[in-house]
Structure 1
Amino acid sequence: MMTTALSPEHSGDETPKVKDYSPTSYITHSNFEFCGYSLKIARTLSASLGVSAYVWEAGIALCRYFEKEKISFAGKKVIELGSGTGIVGILAALLGGNVTITDKPTILEQIKNNVSTNIPPACRHRLKVRPLTWGQDHTNFPTDYDFILGSDIVYSLVSQPSLIETLRHLSNQGATIYLSSEFRTGNGSLPFHEVLLPDYFNCQVVDRLMGKDITVYKMTKISTDPADGL
């Protein structure tokens, strides 16, 4: 059974363990279980990492969806956007995927530490950690991914155009996109999913977290080839 997520500051099945402390940052560990895998996720709580230092409940919901639907990424090419702690991408790799985990450059050390802790050495060749700033260097990445993953990445109105641009570049007609979002007042996440994304993607609600404003969407790119309509 999956560990139930608590508040972002205390996600996991136990009280976070403090590993190191300084006046500006400290590291905690939380344990999770999905799909038969036990994950130990370290979080560096500091001003420099900000919201990326938390395991957000939308990420837990996406991992739980993979578990519930028995999704396998075996042999598939996967990219995760705005990974934060790396928990979703790490699970995708454990489920067989060839995974690229991405976030802003300042977040990558946290992700690499969690990869080292949770991915067996024999499997690490299937996982890469790379910097990706939406709307800026997304064209450095290929367009042949089988799966694109994101959890709680719709949190800023300013970043939404760049996120859509990045999703459109990375996805091909056969790609499946899973986005898990928590709807919060003022962040524009609901109209982003219900109004903006449908202009470019076929969007389907596949899961909701009971008692929370968290929804998991499954998306595919809308074809722009006139021949597809014949």
Structure 2
Amino acid sequence: MTDTAADFVRSYAALAPLGFLPEIKLHQADEPIGLWELTEGEYRSEQPPPFWAFAWAGGQALARYVLDHPETVAGRRVLDLASGSGLVAVAAALSGAASVRAVDIDPFSAAAIGLNAAANGAEVSVDRADILGGDADGAEVVLAGDVFYSQVMADRMTGFLRRAAKAGARVLVGDPDRAFLPRPLFRELAAYDVPTTMALESVTVKHTRVWELRGPAQA
């Protein structure tokens, strides 16, 4: 985590508790478009705003499930993919995971994960990398919140998750019914009505599900 990136996160995303997850505090931005302009230079509607600065519905649902079902991760090596703010990684650490590795390609995300983990007294290792062409590196549980937002990302993510499951990992995802989620590969574990904002989702509540990737034989 560079000092510059950490300072940027602190400046533009205030630390506050989440209504849906009062156990967790998160650095959160007020609105997406201005922040996107600061980090990318321009706003392009086909691109998502910075994932690290908001509590997205898929991540909130997955974090809620992990906190409510700590046995899912307790004592296990956990990988949080496309971690964004680190919300799901923090939930796993607070639920007793043996270790938590949060991975994202965005340097601001890496900074936000470190700050959010520290704010919640959670031990999370941060890896700024694109690992989707590889494997889960021994993780026993793989978590991914709100990662099926485009066809390209969905294709890469699905390949990685299926390799992880084949290697023996339990794979859980949180998704608010995005069009690119390959539903036949998953079974539903839980559903929540997650509060969100008009700026992010054009609604104030998003029905969101937690799914488990079926094992190779089931799929």
- Taking structure 2 as the reference length, the TM-score comes to 0.71
> RMSD of the TM alignment (CA)?
2.8
Change in Cα spacing, 1:179 to 1:115, as seen in structure 2 (3 Å) is same
Change in Cα spacing, 1:70 to 1:166, as seen in structure 2 (3 Å) is closer
Q: CA deviation at 1:100?
A: 0.5
Look up the match of 1:113: 115
Size of the aligned set, in residue pairs, is 182
- Quick check: which has more Rg, 1 or 2? 1
Q: Distance in 1 between matches of 2:19 and 2:121?
A: 14
Once the two structures are superposed, the pairs formed by residues 1-230 of structure 1 within 5 Å of their partners are: 20=11, 26-32=12-18, 38-43=23-28, 46-47=35-36, 48=39, 50-52=49-51, 53-97=53-97, 98-106=99-107, 107-119=109-121, 124=123, 127-136=124-133, 138-139=134-135, 141-142=136-137, 144-184=138-178, 188-189=179-180, 192-195=181-184, 198=185, 203-210=186-193, 212-223=206-217
Structure 1 runs (4+) deviating above 4 angstroms are none
Q: Distance in 1 between matches of 2:167 and 2:10?
A: 45
Q: Is the 8 A contact 1:134 1:162 kept in 2?
A: no
Change in Cα spacing, 1:223 to 1:131, as seen in structure 2 (3 Å) is farther
Higher strand share: 1
Percent identity over paired residues? 23
| 5+ residue gaps, structure 1 | 1-17, 21-25, 225-230
Look up the match of 1:7: none
The secondary structure found in structure 2 opposite 1:221 is coil
Q: CA deviation at 1:175?
A: 1.8
- Taking structure 1 as the reference length, the TM-score comes to 0.68
